[in-house]
Structures are given as C-alpha cells and as structure tokens.
Structure 1
Amino acid sequence: MKNEIFIRLSIFDANNDNVTSLLNMQPTKNVQKGDLITKKGTRVYKYNIWSYEIILNNLEHIEVAFEKIIELFKHKKNELISLGKEYDLEISVSGYLKDGMPSIHFTHDSIDFIHAINAEVDIDIYAQ
C-alpha cells in the first residue's frame, strides 16, 4: 500500500501556551484566534488550536495510527483528562489512499483512552 495517514490530537479554544506548558511538548501546529487560515486569504480562525500531528506511510490498519498517538500521549493522560473537562479535544485521522483501503478497528485500550480524555474522533478517507 502507498497510503499516507495523518493522525493528530487537537485541543480547541485553550490558551496554547498553557497547553504547551502543561503537556511539556511543542505542538506541530499552533493557531491563534484571528490568524489567517491561508496566507493569501481573508478568512481567520475563530478559536485557538493546539495540535500534534504524526504522519505515517503505508499503513494497512488505522488502528496502528491510533496506537502511535496514544503511545505518545499516554503518560500525559491526566493532563489531557483535565483539559478535556474544560476544552474540546479531538483525535482526527486523514487518510490519503493511493492503493487499497486500510482497515478501521479500535481496540478496547484506544476506546478507553479516547473516552477518558473526553475526545471526539474524526476520520476522513480520500481516494487518490
């Protein structure tokens, strides 16, 4: 398979500096309310977004992507639980498929983690 899978954990409308400090890690994307969505555009973000994204290639199972992001954040679960009580959290997957279709399966551990941090899940699959 020649598929590219993006998985990200995003926290919406929090103070991004506080999130960075609390999680003790730098986001891969840091958007402030009022920032331009595109450099040449006029539309702006309506809220802050703190995101950490991982790009994986040639995956046959979406489950592997969830396991990677959970592995990265499992030691920060209590901090995410605290953030999830006050802000919207989301784990999103974007799959760009060039060959085949990866399976979509969630383990009990993945479901438990997502539920514990009060996150929503968004999965978008695009055939190329």
Structure 2
Amino acid sequence: MTPDLAQSVPNLISDKLVTLAADGSASLEGGRCKACAALSFPRAEVCTECLSLEVDGTALSSEGRLYSYSVVHQAPKGWKVPYALGYVDLPEGVRVLAHIDAPLQAIAIDQPVRLSLGVVATDASGADLSTYTFVPA
C-alpha cells in the first residue's frame, strides 16, 4: 500500500535512503565519487572503487528492471509478511535491493519497475513505517 504523500509526510525507516520533494515524489539518494565517478546505493562513505572519501549525494533513476526476487515469509516483529524482496537494476549500473510492492502473482523477473514509497512495517507503537519500494511500471 502506497501512502498519499500529498496528504502526509511518511514515517521513513531511514531518511538517508530517500529524498522527498515538495510535491511528495521520492528519489533514491545514492552517492557519486568525486575522484572516479563511481556510483553507490546506499551512498557510501568511502568509494568502493578508489577508496576516496569524497562521495557526494546524487539522485538515482526512479525506473529500472527487476533482476531477481524472493518471497520472504519470516521477518522481524512488525513487518508485513509475506513480501517480495528483489534486486532492481537501474540504468546507471547500480543494483538496488528493495521491497517489490505488488501482488506476488504480478511479479516477474526482467519486468520494468518504478520507484515508490510503501508501508512495510509498523513500529512498537503501531505507527506505519515506510521505505522506498518498487512497483511494476
């Protein structure tokens, strides 16, 4: 289920992974090395290619293709199960691990997907916790 971002600001699991625009749209916050231009997600503190400490934040593409996925049936308390967890290949060459927010029968390897925000769990007080997800494009 995707929250209505125009109505409320979601309770994000981590604010370091996603940037929210004023209109409620989301973008993945990756990293780009100043020395060698290598990309990372999540943003690396140290470049994994050249070990530079100069890694700037950069927005990554919001569309990609589902490389592979698995259905998860056990999770920590508060997480909704079952859910699909998959690798999404972005056009920049970055592979992102993410929840795939779709009915399980609607998920297929190599299908186009787009970035979304979804409620994936609840915290100890019962409040929804959201994070980046991908949905069929």
TM-score, with normalisation over the residues of structure 1?
A: 0.25
**Larger fraction in helix:** 1
**Larger fraction in strand:** 2
